Every structure is written in C-alpha cells, then in structure tokens.
Amino acid sequence: MMDSEKTFIMGDIHGCLDMFKRLMDIIVWRPDRDRLIFLGDYIDRGENSKGVVDYILALRRCSSQIECLIGNHEALFLDFISGKDQGLYFRNGGWSTLESYRADKPEGGGELIPPDHLAYFRSLNTYMEIEEYYIVHAGFRPGLDIKKQTLEDMVWIREPFIYSTYDFGKKVIFGHTPFYEPLIMDNKIGLDTGAVYGNRLTCLELPEFRFHSVEAK
C-alpha cells in the first residue's frame, strides 16, 4: 500500500538560499506525489534572492505539484520594475535583490532580470484553498468574505488579522509576520520564523501537522 500524499508549506525565505536548500534536504518531499507550497517573500534582505528563484524554478521543472504565492516583497518588486514606488522598495530591503541579479549577470549586457524570473513573479497566486486550510502570505481581513479580500490585505495585513479570533471557515496558514516559533491558534498558523533575521526557516508537513526547520548559521 502506498503512503498517502503529503503537503509541505514553507515560510518566508527572503534570499536565504543556504537555509532553503538545507530545509529541502531534510523534508521527505516526493516531487511526483506531494504538494509543495511557498508562502511568498522569496526575495529581499537576504544575500541570494536570484539563487532562491533559480532554485524554485529548477524544482518546478521536475514537479507539477508546486504552488507559489505572492508576498508583499514580490508585490513591491513588481511595482519597482514598473517604475512605481521605487523608494519604498529600497526601504524594504530591495537593494540586496538587485545586487544578487547584478552579481550573476553574464558579461556583455542583457536584461538584469531574466525573462523566466519576470514570468515567475507575474504568475504568483494571491491565495489558495486546500482541504482544511486557506493559504495566504499575510492573512485576511476579518469579517470579509474570502473572495472579496484585497491584494493589499493578503500581502500586507498584520495586527487586525494576527489578533483576530474570527472564524474564516477554514484555518489560515500564513507567513509575513515573523515569530520565534510557529504561531498556532484556533483560526491560524503562522510559519514565518525569521530566517533572514538569524532565526529559522520553517516548513509545515500535512496531514501529519509536523514542523521542520533549519537554523541560520
């Protein structure tokens, strides 16, 4: 009898490629059978944002079971490359992302951001729904129907969601707001454990409800 399918949900990576690879090495993810979901914030603040995106794209080439959500940092990045709010992007750690692309740029010019990376950023989903959970980067506005939630709330909201006991109909798995340990409440589970701030990168395995994490070096 084959093992049941699993779902792995990973918190905010923020350019921490080494931690990302080490965490992938310890989870038992089967590319042909198990879902792998990323909560957003792949880039900014950490040292190798481009490497993180390269790695995710490589994983997607060997599996159709990968889902990637948009975080506030990807939303800022898309605004930046369209010429909007460029100062805001730099104030939120965007310089490190641009540096990682410049460092890996081949001699002889060409676009700073590879076309497949741009396509990836533009393809990111806002939220998703699985059996018992909603999955989103930052959270939802309490009291508002899931289908009426705004992109701004889904990638930026903090206190109104974090401190709410509102029943969204399903438990919400989210990132965005860093905690020392995963946040576990009746209506939500927070998976951002501050990888880029020297703490840990965390992944939740379902249906076992098992946490995997690696420490920053």
Q: Rounded to 5 degrees, what are φ and ψ at 25? A: -70, -25
Q: What is the per-residue pLDDT for 123?
A: 97
Predicted local distance difference test score (pLDDT) of residue 86: 84
pLDDT tens-digit map of 15-40: 999 999 999 999 999 999 999 999 99
For residue 161, tell me if it sits in a domain: yes
The verdict on residue 67 lying in a domain is yes
Token couple for 124: 């990111």
- What sections of the chain are H helices per DSSP? 17-26, 49-61, 72-81, 86-91, 94-103, 115-123, 151-156, 159-162
Q: How far apart are CA 16 and CA 49, in angstroms?
A: 7
From edge to edge, which strands make up the β-sheet containing 210-215?
66-68, 35-38, 7-10, 200-206, 210-215
On whether residue 142 sits in a domain, the answer given is: yes
Does the model's pTM come out above 0.85? yes
Low-confidence ranges of the chain (pLDDT < 50): 1
Nearest to 43 by CA among 119, 100, 83, 81: 100
Domain of residue 32, CATH code: 3.60.21.10
- In this prediction, residue 1 carries a pLDDT of 37
Determine the length of the chain: 217
Q: Which two three-digit tokens encode residue 50?
A: 């481009």
Q: Is omega for the bond preceding 115 within 30 degrees of 0, making it cis? A: no
Residue 166: inside a domain: yes
Please give the residue range of the domain that contains residue 128.
13-215
Look at the chain and report how many structural domains it folds into: 1
The answer to whether residue 4 is domain-embedded is no
* 7 domain-assigned: no
Does residue 3 form part of some domain?
no
The pLDDT assigned to 2 comes to: 53
User: Is the Cα torsion angle 59, 171, 156, 145 positive or negative in sign?
Assistant: positive
Q: What is the pLDDT of residue 10?
A: 98
Contacts 24+ apart (CB under 8 A), 211-214: 211/182, 212/23, 212/26, 212/27, 213/23, 214/19, 214/22, 214/23, 214/26
In a domain, 158, yes or no: yes
Q: pLDDT digit string (tens) for 76-91?
A: 999 999 988 788 899 9
Bridge partners (DSSP) of residue 203 are 10, 212
Q: Which pLDDT score is estimated for 109?
A: 61
